[in-house]
């Protein structure tokens, strides 16, 4: 079993960064940037009412691409001037939002908010980061993990063979194949049977253990075409995935990937091609 791919999503709901190597932390994947670290889902988009906005509400967010140049993270979009995203430019004024049922205290990057509002004037979008640590689901993920704005766990781990099985099922139904971007996983594994990831209790590294916690239930985001930024016709691949690999005791709810946590205090590097046990 090998690491096939590593992906970090600096802004929840936007496109991700494909990496050759990344740091494993209790808060999710990270890479050095400037004087600190750039974390997975470190920023989130909210609307004028302070509510979380994702591709469920605004699929066009999939076309916004982060890019690292030198020591700076930029957000890019077709036909737009890229804008730098710096943690040091966050407003000192805080407000409250939610990631599902979890309350979070946030602060705004007003320059990036203006950039987003220019593209999506009807939504009143704002870009925010955490202003205070987020409360975690300790009973589900344990006391030593946390996250910024991920839906639940700090890691989502997927299996290339599961994607291949899904694509074969789609072809059999006369539908187009889908690629890895639909599933927004942080770590992709190769060398497993299709959907065997659900039976793995953990992944072992010399520096620690990635504990596999539970199935990831998928939503309408997997039906967003990441290139066009629109929902795919026929809800592809939602219905096919539900038939092929449903959540336990929920036959109409598709599962893809595993929510996971990293159980170690240091921050080791993980590289594409690295073997796991």
DSSP string, the chain: -EEEEEEE-SBTTS--EEESEEEEETTEEEEEETTEEEETT-EEEE-TTS-B--TTT-GGGGG-EEEEETTEEEEE-TTS--EEE-GGG--S-EEEEEETTEEEEEEEEHHHHHHHHHH-TTTT-EEEEESSPPP--HHHH-TT---SS-SSSSEEEEEHHHHHHHHHHHHHTTPPP--GGGG--SEEEESS-TTGGGG--EEEETTEEEEEEEEEE--GGGGEETTTTEEPGGGTTHHHHHHHSEETTEEEEEEEEEEEEEE-SS--EEETT-B--
Domain that holds residue 131: 31-135
Residues 90 and 186 in one domain: no
pLDDT tens over the chain, length 277 residues: 999 999 999 999 999 999 999 999 999 999 999 889 999 999 999 999 999 999 999 999 999 999 999 999 999 999 999 999 987 788 888 999 999 989 999 999 999 999 999 999 988 999 999 999 988 888 898 887 789 999 989 999 999 999 999 999 999 999 999 999 999 999 999 999 999 999 999 999 888 899 999 999 999 999 999 999 999 988 999 999 999 999 999 999 999 999 999 987 678 999 999 998 7
Report if residue 92 sits inside a domain: yes
Report if residue 202 sits inside a domain: yes
Report if residue 277 sits inside a domain: no
Residues 60 and 183 in one domain: no
Report if residue 8 sits inside a domain: no
Report if residue 4 sits inside a domain: no
Report if residue 52 sits inside a domain: yes
Residues 124 and 146 in one domain: no
The number of distinct structural domains making up the chain is 2
């Amino acid at each position: 079993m090998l690491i096939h791919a590593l992906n970090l999503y600096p802004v929840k709901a936007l496109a991700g960064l494909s990496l050759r190597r990344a740091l494993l932390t209790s808060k999710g994947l990270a890479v050095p940037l400037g004087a600190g670290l750039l974390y997975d889902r470190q920023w989130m988009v909210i609307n004028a009412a302070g509510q979380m906005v994702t591709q469920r509400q605004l699929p066009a967010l999939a076309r916004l691409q982060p890019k690292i140049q030198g020591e700076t993270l930029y957000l890019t979009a077709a036909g737009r001037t890229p804008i730098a995203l710096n943690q040091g430019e966050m407003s000192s004024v805080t407000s409250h939002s939610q990631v599902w049922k979890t309350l979070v205290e946030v602060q705004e990057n007003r320059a990036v908010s203006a950039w987003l509002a220019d593209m999506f004037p009807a939504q009143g979008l704002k870009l925010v980061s955490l202003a205070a640590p987020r409360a975690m689901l300790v009973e589900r993920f344990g006391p030593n993990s946390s996250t910024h704005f991920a839906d639940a766990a700090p890691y989502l781990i997927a299996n290339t063979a599961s994607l291949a099985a899904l694509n074969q099922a789609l072809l059999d139904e006369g539908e187009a194949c889908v690629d890895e971007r639909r599933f927004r996983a942080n770590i992709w594994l190769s060398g497993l049977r299709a959907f065997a990831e659900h039976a793995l209790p953990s992944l072992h590294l010399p520096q620690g253990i990635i504990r596999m916690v539970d199935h990831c239930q998928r939503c309408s985001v997997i039906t967003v075409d990441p290139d066009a930024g629109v929902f795919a016709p026929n809800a592809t691949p939602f219905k096919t995935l539900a038939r092929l690999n449903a959540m336990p005791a929920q036959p109409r709810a598709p599962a893809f990937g595993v929510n996971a946590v990293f159980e170690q205090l240091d921050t080791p590097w993980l590289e594409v091609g690295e073997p796991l046990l």
